Each structure stands twice: as C-alpha cells, then as structure tokens.
Chain A
C-alpha cells in the first residue's frame, strides 16, 4: 500500500519527562485518522513535530518521501489548536496571505465555505467569537488541495450544531487522494467519519486499528472503548 507519511520511532522529551515514546505508524492516502488521547497524552506534540514547529526529537519522519522541511510544509494543510491571527487583522488579510503562500489554495472554495459558516471575511478577528475564528481557520485549511490535512481539535470550541456542519464540510471537501489526521477528545460526535483510530496514552501508542474491526471485535463504540482505556 502507498504510504504518504512514515512516523518511525519518534521520541520527544521535555527534561526527564517523555512526551512521546517510540511512536511508530504509517499513514496511507484516503485515510481519516482519529488521533485520540486525553490532555497531555502527546497529541499536540506529535502534530507540532509533523508541522516543523518542534525540531528536537529523535526518530525518523518521512512525509511524501521527504523528511520534515520545506517540502513537508508544502504538502500539509494544518489547523493548529489555537488560532494564530492578530485581533486587528481582517479575515481578508489572512486570505491574501494564503493566496500568496500556498499554490494549492482554492480561493473560491474558501469563500463558499465562509458563506456557509456565515462569516463575513472583512470582519476583524477581535470582532469574531471563538467559534467563528475556529470556523474561519477550518475554511482556510480545508480550501488547500494538500496531500495531508492535520486538524488539531477542530471542533473543540463550537456548539453541537456547528459540529455537524464542520463534519459535513470535512467529508465534502476531502478527496480520496488526501489524508486527514485529526486529534480530538470529543469522540462520540465524530467517530463515524474515522476509518482508523490511534490512541495515545502518556506518549505511547496503545491502540492503532481500523474502527469497524474494533466495533466488530469488541461490540463497543470508539467512545466507549476510549472511556474504558482512559478512566
């Protein structure tokens, strides 16, 4: 099977504490992977490593055949756990930056998504609610035709109705050649869109399996299994 990302034996320590221990898995095109674990399990650390934001780790990572760097940045569309806009900036300022920075950015699609989210891009970010900022960022990230989409807690700050729209948006806007890796702790709302889940516990992978096999073998939902594992 074709591999788009190879994560091999990745370990990251903060002082004596290991945030990630020998994390190893392959990612294939077309997958929607749920990266699941409680706060402090290493999800965001791993995602930051994949997005060149943390460099001092050990182990090997290959994305689209290249190590982390300029190429990996160009093929990953990343939604960070905290929006990075300045309050005085307008939505349109950030749209211009995306047009300049990313060749694969589909401006028309982004405008359509913003209309659907009922966000006027001439607004300044300080005028937007947390949920609006999250949706604005999601529209940007889902409008890149990138090979890998990494979403760190994409539905954390929005109400359940908006979650539905966000999930629909993800399903409608991803193509079979793309891969989505999504971290979340809100599993019940979202598990139906995963085909595979990876459980991180204290920096280690404790489960990595196809979701339908898990349901078949355990008779449990991913949410239930998660609650048992991390009780």
Chain B
C-alpha cells in the first residue's frame, strides 16, 4: 500500500478498511488479521496499525473478542450508514470541484444527467 507521508498513516489505514468494508472486499463478521501481520503487509510500525484498529473499534466497525481477536462488524445498519457517509463525501467533493470551475447548480445537474444518459446508451 502506498501511503501519503503528509497524512497520519493510521487515518489512511482506517480509510482503507472502510473502503474494503463498503465495497464488500471484506466479508462482514470475518476475522481481521493480527496487528503484526498487517504491519508487515502495509510495511508500517505495529503501533500505527494498533491505533487504526482501535479507532475502527471505537467507531463500531470492528469488534474485539477477548480471546480470539478482532472481527469486521456484521451490523448491516451501521455499514449502510457508512456507505451513505462515503457517498455524501464523494458528492460533496465533486460539487465543490464543479463550483470551483464556475458551474451553477443547474449546470452541475445538467452535466450529471448528460453523463448518466451517455452511460446508459
């Protein structure tokens, strides 16, 4: 994985997990690899991985079992909420980029409709 060294790495690991959860790359309820294995896989400090996993746990996306390790949450409501959050973030970013180009709301809507239409053809 390539990290942006200007942004805390634990935040980037959290994003990576969230992306994998909403796109179903991670099966809900499945076991998460150990901190050590993830640290080696990502090539980062184990403390950084630990921090990312703890934060994800706090957000409810992972749950930890005392003896057997960590699991991806199987709370479908929560995952749905995460999906909506991520979609909103994408749209917000898009709208702000379009406004920066000088597009009005109407022009933005028209552009979207045109692109969707083209996609369907």
Residues of chain A having any CB pair with chain B under 8 Å: 30-32, 164, 167-168, 171-172, 176, 188, 191-195, 211-212, 215-216, 219-224
- Additional 8 contacts, C-beta under 8 A, given A168-B43, A211-B45, A221-B5: A30-B46, A30-B47, A171-B39, A171-B40, A191-B5, A195-B47, A215-B5, A222-B5
B97 to chain A, nearest CB (A): 21
Chain B nearest Cβ from A218, distance in angstroms:
9
- Give min CB distance, B43 to chain A, whole Å: 6
User: Does B6 reach chain A (CB closer than 8 Å)?
Assistant: yes
Question: Do B6 and A195 have beta carbons less than 8 Å apart?
Answer: no
Q: In the bound complex, do residue A215 and residue B45 qualify as a contact, i.e. CB atoms below 8 Å apart? A: no
**List of B residues within 8 angstroms of A222 by Cβ:** 5
A164 to B5, CA, bound (A): 16
Those 4 A-B pairs whose CB atoms lie nearest each other, nearest first: A221-B5, A212-B8, A195-B47, A195-B45
Is B7 located at the chain interface by the 8 A CB criterion?
Answer: yes
Q: Nearest Cβ in chain A — how far from B50, in angstroms?
A: 10
- If over half of A's interface residues share one DSSP class (helix, strand or loop), that class is named, otherwise mixed; here it is helix
Which residues of chain A are within 8 angstroms of B7 by Cβ–Cβ distance? 215, 219
Count B-side interface residues using an 8 Å CB cutoff. Answer: 16
A193-B43 contact in complex given A188-B5, A212-B8, A221-B5, C-beta closer than 8 Å: yes
Chain B neighbourhood of A32, CB < 8 A: 45
Docked Cα-Cα span, A32 to B9, in Å, equals 15
Instruction: Return chain A residues, CB-CB under 8 Å to B6.
Output: 215, 219-221, 224
Q: Which A residues lie within 8 Å of B8 (CB)?
A: 212, 215-216
CB distance from B116 to the nearest CB of A (A): 36
Residues of chain A within 8 A of B48, CB atoms compared: 192, 195, 212
Give A222 to B44 CA distance when docked, in angstroms.
Answer: 14
B10 within 8 A of A: yes
Instruction: Give a binary string over B50-75; 1 marks a CB under 8 Å from any A CB, 0 the rest.
Output: 01000000000000000000000000
Taking the complex as formed, is B3 at the interface, i.e. its CB lies under 8 A from any CB of chain A? yes
Interface residues of B in 1-48 (CB under 8 A from A): 3, 5-10, 39-40, 43-48
